[in-house]
Amino acid sequence: MASILKVDDLRGITAAGNITITSEGGSTTMQLQQGLCKSWIYFEQSGTHEAYDSFNIASITDAGTGRSYPVAFTSNMGNANYSGTIFQSGSATVNDYLYFGNNYTGSFGTKTSASYGVRGYAGTDQDVGDFHVVIQGDLG
């Protein structure tokens, strides 16, 4: 029989931030919270830095050609050690190199629990048409 649970807030009993789910194969369990993506954004770096869609993003700032910093979270991460993966699409130049906030020397891109920077580069700084970023790790 199908079942539906209507609820606004899911919490663990032993620890509020620890809910266990069973794997697809049924042979193991995993923590739901750790598997959840904590933030993502799909934005255009050129022009107005328009975010087409996003999750847990408070703001994104144009820091110059090819540079977007800070990309600020609405709810901060627990530390600066979170994992970020990035991808581009729709760029006029196919061999852009994408850079994800890793303390690029200078005043740009220091990664913190509250924000990170991304950069498009193809020999020189270059605005990337469509920039995609996915963040995983611990929320604060």
Site for other proteins in 88-127 (CB under 8 A): 97-100, 102-105, 119, 121, 123
Nearest CB to other proteins, comparing residues 4 and 48? 4
Instruction: Tell whether residue 131 is a contact of other proteins (CB under 8 A).
Output: no
Closest distance of CB 138 from other proteins, Å: 7
Among 44, 62, 130, 138, binds other proteins (CB under 8 A): 138
Burial class (CB in 10 A: 0-12, 13-18, 19+), 67: buried
- Which contiguous run of DSSP H or E holds residue 33? helix 32-35
* Under 8 Å between Cβ of 37 and 134: yes
- Distance between terminal CA atoms of the chain? 38
Instruction: Tell whether residue 37 is a contact of other proteins (CB under 8 A).
Output: yes
Beta pairing class for 39-43 and 29-31: unpaired
Binding site for other proteins (CB under 8 A): 2-8, 10, 13-14, 21-25, 27-28, 30-32, 34-37, 79, 81-87, 97-100, 102-105, 119, 121, 123, 134, 136-138
